[in-house]
Amino acid sequence: MIVEETKLKGCFLIEPTVFKDRRGYFFESFNQQKFNESIGLNINFIQDNESFSVKGTLRGLHYQKGDFAQAKLVRVIKGKILDIAVDIRKKSPTFGEHISLELSGDNKQQLFIPRGFAHGFVVLSDTAIFSYKCDNFYNKENEGGIIYNDKDLKVDWKLENKEFIISDKDLRLPSFKEFSFS
């Protein structure tokens, strides 16, 4: 397993060791002990989520706030997505910066996103199955978000606006300047 910290402190790209032969492949998708040792934290994931989406589906940018903030370990089981993580920790030197990475069922890379980040993705393939682990339970009253096309964040989603499929709820999210993480 190769673990590399991204330009955003505490956010790690993880590439598993994949064993391939004529039968197919095998890899360890998660090992609590190895994961915690490699990122230098003690993270206890307590909830797994999965979504199926069609091309152009844009989900995000979402976060949980207060006592319900979540760290996530995300990966794509099938298909390809563009994954976005935005640092919304107001005291962070990278506050307001983001990373974008292509995650796919082929590259099997995973992204660890610590608490204090907004997260979203758009589906680049015809369909995608997206999976993520969370270290805290979802709480509707403590959910928040930032509009996907925020003029200050300037996220390049790699698709034309007309290709997006976005929920009404996500279309009503506030701008980066208006969001509240506390």
pLDDT tens per residue across span 168-178: 999 999 999 99
Using DSSP, state whether 171 is helix, strand or coil.
helix
The single residue of 63, 98, 132, 148 carrying the catalytic annotation is: 132
Mean pLDDT for the chain overall:
95
Instruction: Specify the DSSP class assigned to residue 115.
Output: S
The 10s digit of each residue's pLDDT in 114-135 is: 999 999 999 999 999 999 999 9
Tokens of 53: 């989406």
For residue 33, the surrounding DSSP H or E stretch is: helix 32-39
Instruction: Specify the 3-state DSSP secondary structure of 27.
Output: strand
The arithmetic mean of pLDDT across residues 146-161, rounded, is: 96
Annotated active-site residue in 25, 62, 98, 138: 62
Q: What is the mean pLDDT of residues 66-73?
A: 96
Q: What is the pTM of this model?
A: 0.94
**Residue 63 is a catalytic residue:** no
Fold assignment, 44-171:
Jelly Rolls (2.60.120)
Mark whether 62 is an active-site residue.
Answer: yes
**Which residues lie closer than 8 Å to 178 by C-beta, 6 or more apart?**
none
pLDDT of 182 higher than 60: no
What is the structure's pLDDT at 179? Answer: 81
Is residue 138 classed as helix, strand or coil in its secondary structure? coil
User: Mean pLDDT, to the nearest integer, of 143-153?
Assistant: 96
